Structure 1
Amino acid sequence: MTSAAGSWERFGTGALSRTAALVHNLLVVELLLRVTTLPGLVATALDRDVSNLPLVALCALPAGPALSAALYALHHRGSDLTDLRPAAAFLRGYRMNAGGALLVWGFWLGWITVLAVNLANLGASGLPGWWVVPMTLVGAGTTLWMLNALVITSLFAFRARDVARLAAYLLFRAPGVSLGNACLVVVVLGGVLAGSEAVVALAGSLLALALLSNSRRLIAVVRKEFTR
């Protein structure tokens, strides 16, 4: 009897169980990501033309709250096979953080769309070619800020302006996070250019897990220095 009880207590704590729990969480989160980003499928069918960028940005709007919910669900995941509820965590994160995530994501999408349109029409605008460098740097910096802000608004309860300030501050306070996220952005861009947006979308839960892993230092700093 004691042996059986001990076996039950150890159930769900071994390496194989933890791996199985992680795979289960990733699969469920991936399915929910697909369901909550269905409008984005329209964007994958569009030609890669500058004129389609505003429509692509509009179709991509639901991806922000969905990614935020995925971050929340994966952050609060359990490794015990007897208590796996990633769907409940995803939906709870979606309800709690959809508004804040949409603000962050929508601002970034709008800004990146403007930059991309200007870069594509640089010759027609009469601007010198060297403007590509500062505009690209601004786009990269805004993207890294957005990733910080999305993680913060997904896992903590701050006002929108405080999220924006913290995200900017942590670009320099946690440079390792910024570097890791920059590498993640390069991987995503490489996937889009080599394949398609759909290929990247199919790895949404893995990308969310990678972003969460990159942001461990950021999360620790926010929890220690800015929460009670």
Structure 2
Amino acid sequence: MIPGGRTATVRPEGPHLNAARTSGFGTGPLSRASALIHTLLTVQALLLLAVSPGLAGLLLLGPDPANLPLAALCLLPLGPSLAAALYALHHRSHDLTELHPAHAYLRGWRLNAVPALKLWAPLLAWLTVIAFTLTHFSATGLPGWWALLLGVIGVGSLLWGAHALVLTSLFAFRARDTARLAAYFLFRHGRATLTAASLLVLTAASTGLLTEALPALLAAPLLLSLLHGSQAVIGETRKNFTA
């Protein structure tokens, strides 16, 4: 049972995903590496295509903090797109002859778009409030330690969002149950949270030191790393909180 909630089901995999193969062709190390690269490139391309309108809008916006609400609107498609990408990567085939990443991504979008948006939109609004407050902090009259506190809350919200994104992508929970489970796993599985934190630091560092485009171009490998780091969360959820 979910803490304070109820059980749910695992997202269906679809007719073409994870199909068992009896033939040896397409299952060797080189074939598996080729299958992984093909899946990553396909998911990356579909992810960029899905968020391209929002990215174009971000490019048109200036760096003025007053544009933060508009930037949040541009980022709304990102949540469902990331959920669909996680679904496709989780259900990827290791067999070179059984690759359907585009089909998996579209199925993940259909299953996860609305559930992901129910969590992504409030999180994005909350982060926008924090960012707007920090960029106008001198006008608030609050003591300096409030800025540090808001920063910590913002980072914690992002880590919660990483767990919520994984759970939404793979399981059919109600939004409030997903929110509770994500908060529960935030401290329950410290290693998974640490993995999400390291990916967050890597994304921020690559954005600040190199270019804002780099995280977008490496989104699929970053999401695959998040999946690998969340195996304990996925395993416990499947064992204890699904019907």
**TM-score past 0.5 threshold:** yes
Partner of 1:224: 239
2:106 to 91, 114, 121: 91
Partner of 1:34: 48
Asked which structure has the greater RCO (Cα within 8 Å, sep 6+), the reply is 2
Pairing 1:14–2:21 present: no
Pairing 1:153–2:168 present: yes
Name the Cα RMSD after superposition: 1.2
Question: How much has 1:199 moved relative to structure 2?
Answer: 2.0
Q: Which moved more, 1:15-24 or 1:125-134?
A: 125-134
Question: How much has 1:45 moved relative to structure 2?
Answer: 4.1
Unaligned runs of 5+ in 1: 1-7
**TM-score, scaled relative to structure 2:** 0.88
- 3-state DSSP class of the match of 1:37? helix
- 3-state DSSP class of the match of 2:172? coil
- 3-state DSSP class of the match of 1:164? helix
**TM-score, scaled relative to structure 1:** 0.94
Partner of 2:185: 170
Instruction: Count how many residue pairs are aligned between Structure 1 and Structure 2.
Output: 221
Pairing 1:143–2:140 present: no
Give the 5 Å matches for 1:95-106: 95-106=110-121
CA distance in 2 between counterparts of 1:226 and 1:192 reads 37
Unaligned runs of 5+ in 2: 1-21
CA distance in 1 between counterparts of 2:215 and 2:166 reads 19
Question: How much has 1:145 moved relative to structure 2?
Answer: 0.7
- 3-state DSSP class of the match of 1:10? coil
Q: Which amino acid aligns with 1:61?
A: L
**Percentage of identical aligned residues:** 52
Partner of 1:208: 223
Structure 1 segments (4+ residues) deviating >4 Å: none
Kindly provide the CA deviation profile for residues 50-97 of structure 1, in whole angstroms up to 9, marking residues without a partner as x: 112111111011011000000000000001111100000000000001
Question: How much has 1:196 moved relative to structure 2?
Answer: 3.3
Give the 5 Å matches for 1:169-188: 169-188=184-203
1:62 to 73, 77, 82: 77
Pairing 1:197–2:212 present: yes
- 3-state DSSP class of the match of 1:114? helix
Query: Which structure's residues are more often helix, by fraction?
Result: 1
Question: How much has 1:48 moved relative to structure 2?
Answer: 2.3
